[in-house]
Amino acid sequence: MLEYNFVAVDLGATSGRVILATFYGKSVNIEEIYRFPSPIIQMCGHFYWDLPAIYQSVLKGLKMVAERGITPTSIGIDTWGVDVALFGEDGAMLSLPHSYRDPHTVGAPEEFFKRMPREELYERTGIQVMNFNTLFQFDTMRRNGCSALAAAKKILFIPDALAYLLTGEMVTEYTIASTSHMIDPRTRKWDEKILEMLGLNADKFGRQVMPGEKIGTLTQEVQRLTGLGAVNVVAVASHDTGSAVATVPAEDMSMAYLSSGTWSLMGVVSPDPIITERSQQLNFTNEGGVSGTIRVLKNICGMWLLERCRAEWGDISYGELIAQAEKAEPFRSIINPDAPCFANPESMTVAIDNYCDATNQPKPSCIGEYVRTIFESLALRYRQVVGMLGELTGVKVEQLYVIGGGAKNDMLNQFSSNAIGVPVTTGASEATAWGNIAVQAEGTKQFGGFAEIMQMCSPLLESKHYEPQDKELWQQGYDKFLSVYKEI
């Protein structure tokens, strides 16, 4: 019986992992080989990703795989979206990549709209306006006279840049490019007018590849550094949310998904983009998925709120945070998680306090109250966005499927079911890695289709189910949410 080993390099905005999945017959095993930080460097007034450090960590993880005597069938890479690395004529990286947390793009959309109306941009791309989108990063760098952008021979998104460092091949994977605000979701090609406005052209980017296509093989240098042989690197859904959503068993748009982590990404899987005046008003996005699908979704500020608070509180376990939140008064203080004041404040607790002051609510007075405020507010925001999805698609959402790290958060998942009034089912907490691995496995033609591969993986999933509770109480909570909803 043949054994297949797939390596997923799964990079989040906080940490990255090198994960090994072994398929033997009908059995599957998954193991985290190496976990490492995704470091951001604050330097000269900007925030940059330390891509060389991330690359070295990837090499270390691959070396640990080789030290086990394992020969991977293939390697796939997924990361966060929008950010890029710039490479010169000689193939060398010209500068550290800007992080989407860099405030240099604050106000950038408004500057671009002076040259192309917001409505036209949305009609061309179907992408929600977020100031850190690649389009606005490029326009900001151009206006600021960025010498690296002017000198760049090739521009590669972060997963494509890492694939280049491993293989020497420069490509642009479709799902990651679809986050840029520069792709036509109907044709899946670059919008030439937008590129021209930025002083760019399609030749600045690598050849486009789709999930499942081979990118290349490990270079001689990487083989020597890791101890691996000429292993193939395969394009997966390189945008981490694209990989995660690939694991959602949605048969139609009555099942919404929630990719719950640092960001909460809520949407539906659609065969076609939804680009209307109303979807623009609601700021929904149309990003590429596997098998030609479109992820119609909205970004919601997720566990970033709690992560930043925890940094202020010290070493407190999630179990203790939940225990304290359970003792707190329901709906004492409610916030809009997507208010700009929560994007990257110096102190998240102070930002929450200020929001409560501005909306005439009592400020949280203890850790448990902060945690409950965050969880209840997220659940109520999810209800609001589910209502928007129903309006846009014409299909009532009857179930929510939660993936990502938040799939383990019993309190938030129960709150979400209560707030929305529909059952909630959890999938893989490691959904990005599973989606990455499943695309690789499907490419071997040895395991049937994508659904069959996910069925093979199902024994490893600790799925839970939640039913709505306390309907009247949560309706009161939603009424309060709407009364204090502000964009401050």
State how many domains the chain has.
2
Query: Does residue 181 form part of some domain?
Result: yes
**456 or 412, which is more confident?**
412
Among residues 178, 208, 241, the one where a domain terminates is 241
CA distances from 381 to 1, 336, 419, 467 (A): 49, 7, 9, 18
Based on the domain organization, do 405 and 423 belong to the same domain? yes
Query: Does residue 433 form part of some domain?
Result: no
Query: Does residue 253 form part of some domain?
Result: yes
Q: How much is the pLDDT for 117?
A: 97
Query: Does residue 58 form part of some domain?
Result: yes
CA distances from 34 to 8, 56, 62, 341 (A): 11, 12, 9, 35
The CATH number assigned to the domain holding 400 equals: 3.30.420.40
Q: What is d(CA 166, CA 162) in angstroms, rounded to the nearest whole number?
A: 6
pLDDT band at 486; cut points 50, 70, 90: confident
Q: What is d(CA 382, CA 413) in angstroms, rounded to the nearest whole number?
A: 11
Q: Are the C-beta atoms of residues 6 and 434 closer than 8 Å to each other? A: no
Q: What is d(CA 290, CA 270) in angstroms, rounded to the nearest whole number?
A: 11
Based on the domain organization, do 397 and 277 belong to the same domain? yes
Query: Does residue 403 form part of some domain?
Result: yes
* pLDDT tens column, 237-278: 999 999 999 999 988 999 999 999 888 999 999 999 999 999
pLDDT average, residue stretch 30-54? 95
pLDDT average, residue stretch 420-443? 94
Residue the block writes with tokens 């949560």: 474
Based on the domain organization, do 302 and 411 belong to the same domain? yes
pLDDT average, residue stretch 191-209? 97
The yes-or-no verdict on residue 1 having pLDDT over 70 is no
Based on the domain organization, do 146 and 255 belong to the same domain? no
The yes-or-no verdict on residue 344 having pLDDT over 90 is no
For residue 91 the two structure tokens come to 């193939």
Q: How much is the pLDDT for 488?
A: 58
The separation between the first and the last C-alpha atoms of the chain, rounded to the nearest angstrom, is: 60
Query: Does residue 305 form part of some domain?
Result: yes
Based on the domain organization, do 454 and 307 belong to the same domain? yes
- Annotate the chain with three-state secondary structure: CCEEEEEEEEECCCEEEEEEEEEECCEEEEEEEEEEECCEEEECCEEEECHHHHHHHHHHHHHHHHHCCCCCCEEEEEECCCCEEEECCCCCECCCCECCCCHHHCCHHHHHHCCCCHHHHHHHHCCCCCCCCHHHHHHHHHHCCCHHHHHCCEEEEHHHHHHHHHHCCCEEEHHHHCCCCCEECCCCEECHHHHHHCCCCHHHECEEECCCCEEEECCHHHHHHHCCCCCEEECCCCEHHHHHHCCCCCCCCCEEEEEECCEEEEEEEECCCCCCHHHHHCCCEEEECHHHCEEEEEEEECCHHHHHHHHHHCCCCHHHHHHHHHHCCCCCCCCCCCCHHHCCCCCHHHHHHHHHHHCCCCCCCCHHHHHHHHHHHHHHHHHHHHHHHHHHHCCCCCEEEEECHHHHCHHHHHHHHHHHCCCEEECCCCHHHHHHHHHHHHHCCCCCCHHHHHHHHHHHCCCCEECCCCHHHHHHHHHHHHHHCCCC
According to DSSP, the residues that pair with 173 across neighbouring strands are 209
Based on the domain organization, do 220 and 352 belong to the same domain? no
Based on the domain organization, do 199 and 96 belong to the same domain? yes
Based on the domain organization, do 280 and 413 belong to the same domain? yes
For residue 422 the two structure tokens come to 């529909």
Tell me what percent of the residues of the chain surpass a pLDDT of 90. Answer: 89
The yes-or-no verdict on residue 139 having pLDDT over 80 is yes
Among residues 217, 241, 265, the one where a domain terminates is 241
Q: What is d(CA 408, CA 463) in angstroms, rounded to the nearest whole number?
A: 9
pLDDT average, residue stretch 373-398? 97
Q: What is d(CA 338, CA 131) in angstroms, rounded to the nearest whole number?
A: 13
Based on the domain organization, do 227 and 269 belong to the same domain? no
What range defines the domain where residue 102 resides? 3-241
Q: How much is the pLDDT for 68?
A: 96
What pTM did the predictor assign? 0.89
Query: Does residue 442 form part of some domain?
Result: no
pLDDT average, residue stretch 356-382? 97
**88 or 451, which is more confident?**
88
Based on the domain organization, do 161 and 305 belong to the same domain? no
pLDDT average, residue stretch 16-43? 93
Q: Which residues contact 163 (CB under 8 A, 6 or more apart)?
A: 77, 169, 171, 215, 216, 233, 235
Based on the domain organization, do 374 and 465 belong to the same domain? yes
Query: Does residue 441 form part of some domain?
Result: no
Q: Is 50 a catalytic residue?
A: no
Among residues 193, 224, 241, the one where a domain terminates is 241
Q: How much is the pLDDT for 460?
A: 74
- Catalytic pick among 240, 272, 338, 479: 240
Based on the domain organization, do 223 and 259 belong to the same domain? no
**429 or 329, which is more confident?**
329
pLDDT average, residue stretch 157-167? 98
23-27, 134-138, 315-319, 458-462, range with the lowest pLDDT: 458-462
Q: How much is the pLDDT for 48?
A: 97
pLDDT average, residue stretch 431-444? 93
